[in-house]
Structure 1
Amino acid sequence: MADARQTDRLAALRRWAGARHAADGERLRIELAAGDASFRRYYRLWLGDAPTRIVMDAPPDKEDSRPFVAVAKAWREAGLPVPALHHADFDSGFLELEDLGDTPLHLCLTDDGLANDAGDDDAYREALALLATLQRRAPRTGLPTYAAALLGRELDLYPDWCLARLLGIAPPPCWPSARARLIESALSQPRVAVHRDFDAMNLMRHAGQLWLIDFQDAVDGPLSYDLVSLLRGRYRRFAEADYAAFIEAFRREAIKDGRLADTIGITTFRYHADLMAAQRSLKVLGIFCRLTLRDAKPGYLQRLPLFLAHLRDSLAPWPAFGELSAWLDSDFAPALHRELARRGLQARGVAP
């Protein structure tokens, strides 16, 4: 059924693009450029001597493209590097965008981002400079609030999809208090426009700079969220000293330009960043299991050990999470590795 649906969507896209450009849709060159963890798909459209375009296929019964369009317009008006929007048809679910090429930042990293390579560090510094620009310029007006209810729903993906449905185990007794503490920390931070998936896969290298894509889930939320999305994302597990240096450089810059009060010291900011990273790691563990069990995308399971490592790294410095950390080692990690072995999967992206 999925293949038939995709064939029907592609045929509809051809008719739509043909009508848009006064051409025979069947003769247009249209090729798949990228898939997505959601139901969106991206196609490259050739238009003779004109620059190529990207057409986003976001089935309207599955995806709402209005947030993407609203953020694209607001951020472009703010001078941020986002693709130009040439046309949006909400009824059909097709959007025509500027083509930013085929080089997301993660393809520029060494050894899947795990090697200690100076070029990789430079790439992350470039990404963090873009993040600072995003936080300074992007308006928060009109963005959904990253409130306690949303943070809680995201955290609940972990016990619902990862523990109960994938592994068949219960959360530890400390889960309710740990969950509440993570939400409290997130809500106590200064608020900025949050991309919400500021990872190396969503930063495109094009025309000599980095560009932002996949920003449809942007919210008004915690200052550290996009920071830890990048530093504890799917392509790198930093050594503690390197991670701490990036966090401190971000803190100093944020104080200098007014995003963060100068009363927020190193330990306090590190605490909030680590708890934000833990919240996101738990959410990702749940989402990746949902993608496998609900959406038949099993490749995501191989990334679970990396996000478990991120979760352990984030909680380890803080005694208040000692019970949860111990349970991760005694119960969760063995159950996860048994399940991956049962499925014949090997962990990806975990540094030695």
Structure 2
Amino acid sequence: MGTTDPASPQKPLASPDQSRIVEAVETRLPFSRTFKNLTALAGDASNRRYFRVEFNESAPGSLILMQLAEPEAFKHSEEAVSGASHQITELPFLNVRTQLANAGVPVPGLYYYDQTAGLLYLEDFGDLTLSEACRDAPPHRVEMLYRQAVDVLADMQIKATSLADARCLAVHRGFDVPLLMWEFDHFLEYGIAARRGRPVADGEFSEIRDEFRKIAEQLAGQPRVFVHRDYHSRNLMVDGRRLGVIDFQDALMGPATYDLASLLRDAYIALDETLIDRLIGHFLDRLEERGHLRTDRDAFRRLFDFTSIQRNLKAAGRFVYIDQVKGNPKFLADIPRTLGYVKRNLHKYPELKALRRLLSAHVTELQ
């Protein structure tokens, strides 16, 4: 297990050489186009930058340019990984993209990779995220879009797992206990200690970690499937009738509940609880339709809720980290919603009473 988290805010990337982009557009793409315009796009929490390259021609009339933090970022990840002893000889984004494309998942097409400059020329899925599409949409539209997202997830989980290729990085790394505990510790370090300005006392720290380990062992003990790892409303693009999947480079193997919890217990959009119930049922229906064995739905729901606790605590800690280490405070507003999910689940299960007591002493939102 390891992490490449920087110790200080990253310096902004210099804009790419436009003349190089013009040359690539006019000579390197699989179709004939002439350069029209380059526009910087709003960034995410990563060290990458994104641009839209517009053409004078149409269909397609644009592409997305991804600028890597380093030209040959083979061994760099925005996340900690575990079990990744496999030699990395290819950019993780490209490696995982190949696996997903072969599985029929709607991921961006790759037009050209300028490895020397660290520039990827990708299919443009547009600007409309699932989050934005649902912002002012009526309930029936929200449910339709989320059912589509669940369908894509179920198909991805089945196909990308069954077609697992030893050359895919995701196959060689997984959600084991050390990685799950690293993420729990990330919350303790940033979601509690850094956020309130003082560490947790050693005795309480050990008690909390003991309770976290019980959850980690349950999750790590589940059968492993392909996991996107960041499958949520800002990484799903509504492109006409298609729902495009992006930001998959940190994929690994893990429990079937992880991506579903990421989608339905989203830090950026709160779904109605009855809708969540229906969508979990729809997910299991989809798996059964595709020939997977029937599962104990009550046991699956319990595992979903425990996965949500782990995922949401990690996210809350990550948001503080992005603020204090990367100098980007825009995710802090999402912490109360994210911790609200945790509070709900901590109160739902009597066996989590000790964890609820320990965490609520340090986190206002969990009281």
CA deviation digits over 1:281-309, x for unaligned, max 9? 11101110100000111111111101101
Is 1:188 matched with 2:188? no
Match of 1:134 in 2: 156
Q: Map of 1:46-65 to 2, 5 A cutoff? A: 46-50=54-58, 51-60=61-70, 63-64=73-74
Describe the SS at the equivalent of 2:234.
helix
From 249, 263, 287, the equivalent of 1:230 is 263
1:36 is displaced (CA, Å) by 1.5
Is 1:211 matched with 2:251? no
Unaligned stretches of 5+ residues in structure 2: 1-8, 28-34, 75-89
* Rounded Cα–Cα distance in structure 2 between residues aligned with 1:82 and 1:299: 27
Describe the SS at the equivalent of 2:363.
helix
Match of 1:78 in 2: 103
Residues 240 and 316 of structure 1, relative CA distance in 2, 3 Å threshold? farther
Q: After superposing the two structures, state which structure 1 stretch, 288-297 or 42-51, moved more.
A: 42-51
Corresponding letter in the other structure for 2:48: R
1:189 is displaced (CA, Å) by 2.1
Is 1:332 matched with 2:336? no
Q: After superposing the two structures, state which structure 1 stretch, 61-70 or 150-159, moved more.
A: 61-70
From 289, 304, 329, the equivalent of 1:273 is 304
Match of 2:177 in 1: 148
* Rounded Cα–Cα distance in structure 1 between residues aligned with 2:176 and 2:362: 31
* Rounded Cα–Cα distance in structure 2 between residues aligned with 1:296 and 1:155: 22
Q: Map of 1:66-105 to 2, 5 A cutoff? A: 66-105=91-130
* Rounded Cα–Cα distance in structure 2 between residues aligned with 1:77 and 1:155: 33
* Rounded Cα–Cα distance in structure 1 between residues aligned with 2:12 and 2:199: 36
CA contact under 8 A between 2:227 and 2:254: conserved in structure 1?
yes
Corresponding letter in the other structure for 1:140: A
* Rounded Cα–Cα distance in structure 2 between residues aligned with 1:165 and 1:61: 32
* Rounded Cα–Cα distance in structure 2 between residues aligned with 1:18 and 1:145: 40
Describe the SS at the equivalent of 1:95.
strand
CA deviation digits over 1:250-300, x for unaligned, max 9? 2343244344x43x3122111111111111011101110100000111111
Task: Looking at secondary structure, tell me which structure has more helix per residue.
Answer: 1
Q: Percent sequence identity over matched residues? A: 29
1:76 is displaced (CA, Å) by 1.4
Describe the SS at the equivalent of 2:50.
strand
From 333, 337, 346, the equivalent of 1:306 is 337
1:214 is displaced (CA, Å) by 0.9
Corresponding letter in the other structure for 1:298: P
Q: Map of 1:14-53 to 2, 5 A cutoff? A: 14-22=18-26, 29-50=37-58, 51-53=61-63
Match of 1:340 in 2: none
CA deviation digits over 1:186-215, x for unaligned, max 9? 112232211111111111111421111111
1:154 is displaced (CA, Å) by 1.5
Describe the SS at the equivalent of 2:237.
strand
1:249 is displaced (CA, Å) by 3.0
Describe the SS at the equivalent of 1:331.
coil
Match of 2:274 in 1: 241
* Rounded Cα–Cα distance in structure 2 between residues aligned with 1:54 and 1:10: 14
Describe the SS at the equivalent of 2:301.
helix
1:68 is displaced (CA, Å) by 0.6
From 190, 194, 216, the equivalent of 1:165 is 194
1:94 is displaced (CA, Å) by 0.9
CA contact under 8 A between 1:39 and 1:63: conserved in structure 2?
no
Unaligned stretches of 5+ residues in structure 1: 338-352
CA contact under 8 A between 2:111 and 2:121: conserved in structure 1?
yes
CA deviation digits over 1:39-87, x for unaligned, max 9? 1111001222152111001121795481111111221122221111011
Q: TM-score, normalised by structure 2?
A: 0.81
CA contact under 8 A between 1:40 and 1:63: conserved in structure 2?
no
Describe the SS at the equivalent of 1:108.
helix
* Rounded Cα–Cα distance in structure 2 between residues aligned with 1:62 and 1:324: 43
| Number of positions where the alignment pairs a residue of Structure 1 with one of Structure 2 | 325
